[in-house]
Amino acid sequence: MSVPAKQGRITPKRIRSMKDGQPIVCLTAYTTPMARLLDAHCDLLLVGDSLGMVLYGMETTVSVTLDMMIAHGRAVMRGVKNACVVVDMPFGSYQESREVAFRNAVRLLQETGCDAVKLEGGEEMAETIAFLTTRGVPVLGHIGLMPQQVHTAGGYRSVGHSDEESAKLRRDASAIGSSGAFAVVIEGTVETLARELTAQVEVPTIGIGASSACDGQILVSDDMLGLFNDFTPRFVKRYDELGQRVRKAAEDYAREVRARQFPGPEHTFKRRS
């Protein structure tokens, strides 16, 4: 399968220009090897705080730290030549004030070399996003289901089912769309509402559990590849079952080691004469 040629690294400005154009392809990446595998096929790679659950076995993303995001952001940047790289701002790193958000966003940009940061929140975070963007920090917004608010939301659940929720999401989309964010993630939102929000805002929308009408789509790579098997959200399509392949490879390896079939002569070193 051929991959379309890309002219240099994709920037947030270029992502912004893709509204109503060719759908924006996004996936998560947390490590250098995975970034290298995904880079040529993606417009945007997100170093998501989902790494807390996917890589570290945490129950939520709330315990993820800024230092963790910086470490994984650096790792992903080592593997990227084409995609725009966005790093999540973890819980507690931006909610206190605009100034705290700016300091932590600058740390992410300076210490990882990433292209932009992402933060969760609707109308309540629009002023912070405007503060960051007017000071040179590109921001990807995030509305709808917001994993960092799992405790106040009472769990992970789709949103937009009531008139009240729908009205709030319309206000959120309008506020983020006008805040200076170059795009906005819409997560876990009723399809018809996500479609409406995409038509409502002037910046690209990136859906996850939203609508095919969104300007782009994102999935957690480990979900999409069948590596993270504890729970599969409704909105995930498995494009492979690598978890099963890993288990089979480990089973074959263990059997050969126990039978002394591995290593064979071809895997060992002979003394030089």
pLDDT digits (tens, 9 = 90+) for 29-79: 999 999 999 999 999 999 999 999 999 999 999 999 999 999 999 999 999
For residue 55 the two structure tokens come to 């890589």
pLDDT digits (tens, 9 = 90+) for 35-44: 999 999 999 9
- Could you give the residue numbers annotated as active site? 187
In this prediction, residue 151 carries a pLDDT of 66
Would you place residue 153 in the very low, low, confident or very high pLDDT band (cuts 50, 70, 90)? low
Mean pLDDT over residues 147-175, rounded? 88
Residues making up the annotated binding site are 49-50, 88, 118, 120
In this prediction, residue 193 carries a pLDDT of 97
Per-residue exposure over 198-219, b if at least 16 CB sit within 10 Å of its own CB, e if not = beebebbbbbbbbbebbbbbbb
Residue 173 has pLDDT above 80, yes or no: yes
Does residue 209 contact residue 256 with C-beta atoms inside 8 Å? no
For residue 23 the two structure tokens come to 């759908």
In this prediction, residue 242 carries a pLDDT of 95
Alpha carbon 18 to chain centroid, angstroms: 18
Would you place residue 147 in the very low, low, confident or very high pLDDT band (cuts 50, 70, 90)? confident
Phi-psi region of 210 (alpha: psi -120 to 50; beta: other; left: phi over 0): alpha
Would you place residue 14 in the very low, low, confident or very high pLDDT band (cuts 50, 70, 90)? very high
Angle at CA 42, nearest 5°, toward 39 and 48?
A: 85
Residues whose CB is less than 8 angstroms from the CB of residue 55 and which lie 6 or more positions away in sequence, other chains included? 30
pLDDT digits (tens, 9 = 90+) for 101-123: 999 999 999 999 999 999 999 99
What percent of the chain has pLDDT above 70? 95
Would you place residue 1 in the very low, low, confident or very high pLDDT band (cuts 50, 70, 90)? very low
DSSP-derived secondary structure for 1-53 = -------S---HHHHHTTTTSSPEEEEE--SHHHHHHHGGG-SEEEE-TTHHH
Residue 4 has pLDDT above 60, yes or no: no
Residues making up the annotated binding site for 3-methyl-2-oxobutanoate are 49-50, 88, 118
Task: Give dist(CA 238, CA 251) in Å, integer.
Answer: 23
Q: Which of 238, 205, 201, 202 is closest to 222 using CA atoms?
A: 238
CATH architecture of 12-242: Alpha-Beta Barrel (3.20)
> Alpha helices of 78-220 — where are they, by DSSP H?
98-112, 126-133, 150-153, 163-177, 191-200
Q: What is the mean pLDDT of the chain?
A: 94
Q: Spell out the long-range contacts of 101-106 with Cβ–Cβ below 8 A and sequence spacing 24 or more.
A: 101/128, 101/131, 101/132, 102/131, 102/132, 102/135, 102/137, 104/66, 105/132, 105/137, 105/139, 106/137
Mean pLDDT over residues 160-168, rounded? 96
In this prediction, residue 229 carries a pLDDT of 64
Other C-beta atoms lying within 10 Å of the C-beta of residue 194: 27
Residue 7 has pLDDT above 70, yes or no: no
Q: Which segment of 2-16, 133-147, 175-189, 206-220 scores lowest on mean pLDDT?
A: 2-16
Residues making up the annotated binding site for Mg(2+) are 49, 88, 120
Would you place residue 234 in the very low, low, confident or very high pLDDT band (cuts 50, 70, 90)? confident
For residue 100 the two structure tokens come to 């705290």
In this prediction, residue 273 carries a pLDDT of 79
For residue 215 the two structure tokens come to 């300007």
Would you place residue 157 in the very low, low, confident or very high pLDDT band (cuts 50, 70, 90)? confident
Would you place residue 3 in the very low, low, confident or very high pLDDT band (cuts 50, 70, 90)? very low
Strands 44-47 and 24-28, by their bridges, are parallel
Task: Give dist(CA 186, CA 145) in Å, integer.
Answer: 8
Handedness of CA 140, 147, 90, 172 (dihedral sign): positive
Q: What is the pTM of this model?
A: 0.93
